[in-house]
Structure 1
Amino acid sequence: MSKQGSVVLIGMPGAGKSTLGVLLAKELAKDFVDTDVLIQLREDKTLQEIMNESDYLNLRRIEGEVIAEAVLPNHVIATGGSAVYSEEGMHNLLKFGPAVFLNCTADELRRRIHNYESRGIAKAPGQSFDELFEERQALYRRYADIVVDCDGSDLERVLAEVVSRLADR
């Protein structure tokens, strides 16, 4: 991978995008940004507060605007799990670099996420975790340039695999 350019991390909440993103940014000597934080800074509210005051579609709309307007040329970008609903936003981010899909099974994510109902996950009212998982899988695969399976792997192994796969591009 060239010294310039970004890496876009996509995947479900709990897949490790933010945690891995910080380590990857250090490894690749890039800036790190979490698009959920960009949303919270713009709105001056948490993701859950945004949804409590309106609904999940409004959060997705705001997220789409934020990522469509983002200029992140040399970053590791940890996206929100619902970023893939914004075609315009994803096309913008992918101008800066490849998308790495951190793929976890639903069972693995259940082990990692204990605050599903209060985490600020943009989902339809009453939508189960399994329904949301299935809905998003096709979107993640649509945008992914690289897919890294994360089940049963520690952070160091996932980091090494992402770095290796980026170097092979």
Structure 2
Amino acid sequence: MRVRILPALDSLLHGLISLGLAALLTAFILVGASQHGGQGNSQLAADSLRMLWSPAIFAGVGVLLIANGLLRGLWLLLRSPSRPVLVRPVPSRPVSQAAAAPERPAHAYERACAELGVEPGSDWALVRSAWRRNLPQWHPDQGGAVDVWRRKLAAYTLLEAWQQFEEPP
């Protein structure tokens, strides 16, 4: 069974990252503005200070993400006061029997023949004529069900491969 960290903790982490980026950008902008001002270029210093809107956006998003994470965490604590939930188990996919034990090829061949309504061991011309005869009623564009079409197409494809495999070189 896998374990996934709660979205509240993810939100807190992303908020802290966003605040860190905002502080870093602010520091770079302020250092650049002070250098330009010290060199006597007041226009570049003023332009640099106008760029402080960018880290302000990062800081605002960071604050919102942290607030979201705190509210989610508080909600989880209020919802289950006896034990705080730090991780939530994520159920792993059950292994189906088909994945555990592959189907015998002969059995798959017989099921494909039954799906198309032909006898096992039938000549390929008979299989192909049965396919072409029933194609209009099975095809989804002609009003057939999609799941039936997929089953019939898989059966025909299997029988076609089987015929090519059984054919002498």
Structure with more strand by fraction:
1
TM-based fold match above 0.5:
no
> TM-score interval w.r.t. the shorter chain?
under 0.3
Q: Which structure has the bigger radius of gyration?
A: 2
Per chain length, whose mean CA-contact separation is higher, i.e. which structure has more relative contact order (CA < 8 Å, sep 6+)? Answer: 1
Calculate the TM-score normalised by the size of structure 2: 0.19
Calculate the TM-score normalised by the size of structure 1: 0.19
